[in-house]
């Protein structure tokens, strides 16, 4: 007889596949790598909780700008409809984000510098052979990582309507 507590609710197979820890961890690795590549620090750990909701939600991912000059503030101002569900998505993605961080640390794909997450090596770049959704998610994660070079994490949460 096991003394481990049972999971309060089993995860549906679709959620398990979509929120696979290897995939979600690699999205965080890509965000951390992109942030450090253009900045001087890793990704603040609270910002990691924004990466998956921004990159895995299809409508949000497809609305992310292609132009690096468009700021998070400008994007948020143009996408009120997507932000209406952002706080809910961030809350729903908290457990998959925690699992992704732990997986990345355990497999030594992610590391810590103080309270910042860092990519310990350059991730593979997306290729045309990758499925569209995977390629799009990785590109979105890198884009979001760059955003965190020009905005404080608390301001990002504020702009996205989280915790306000």
Give the structural domain span for 126.
20-159
Residue 58 inside a domain? The answer is yes
Please indicate whether residue 112 or residue 19 has the higher confidence score (pLDDT): 112
pTM of the model: 0.87
Crossing angle for the helix pair 94-106 and 45-56, nearest 10 degrees? 110
33 contact partners, CB below 8 Å, separation of at least 6: 119, 122, 123, 142, 145
pLDDT at 3: 47
Residue 8 inside a domain? The answer is no
In the chain, the number of structural domains is 1
Query: Which among 132, 140, 124 has a CA at the least distance from the CA of 57?
Result: 140
Report yes or no: 29 and 52 within 8 Å, Cβ to Cβ: no
What is the percentage of the chain residues whose pLDDT exceeds 70? 88
pLDDT at 39: 85
Per-residue pLDDT tens over the stretch 46-70: 999 999 999 999 999 999 998 888 9
Q: Across-strand partners of 117?
A: 43, 112
Coil, helix or strand at residue 154: helix
Which pLDDT band holds residue 38 (cuts at 50, 70, 90)?
A: confident
Residue 78 inside a domain? The answer is yes
Residue 134 inside a domain? The answer is yes
* Helix ranges (DSSP H) in 65-128: 72-78, 80-83, 86-92, 94-106
Residue 14 inside a domain? The answer is no
Residue 12 inside a domain? The answer is no
Residue with tokens 């996205």: 160
What is the percentage of the chain residues whose pLDDT exceeds 90? 76
> Over the chain, what is the mean pLDDT?
88
Coil, helix or strand at residue 85: coil
Residue 151 inside a domain? The answer is yes
Per-residue pLDDT tens over the stretch 88-143: 999 999 999 999 999 999 999 999 999 999 999 999 999 999 999 999 999 999 99
């Amino acid at each position: 007889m096991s003394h481990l507590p049972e999971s309060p609710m089993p995860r549906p197979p679709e959620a398990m596949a979509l929120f696979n820890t290897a995939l979600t961890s690699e999205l965080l690795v890509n965000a951390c790598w992109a942030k450090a590549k253009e900045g001087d620090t890793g990704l603040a750990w609270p910002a990691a909780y924004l990466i998956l909701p921004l990159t895995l939600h299809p409508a949000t991912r497809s609305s992310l700008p292609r132009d690096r000059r468009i700021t998070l503030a400008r994007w948020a101002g143009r996408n009120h409809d997507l932000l209406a569900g952002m706080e809910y998505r961030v809350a729903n993605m908290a457990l998959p984000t925690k699992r992704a961080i732990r997986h990345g640390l355990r497999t030594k794909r992610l590391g810590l510098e103080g309270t910042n997450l860092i990519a310990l090596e350059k991730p593979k770049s997306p290729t045309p052979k990758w499925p569209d959704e995977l390629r799009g998610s990785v590109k979105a994660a890198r884009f979001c990582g760059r955003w965190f070079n020009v905005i404080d994490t608390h301001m990002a949460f504020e702009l996205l309507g989280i915790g306000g």
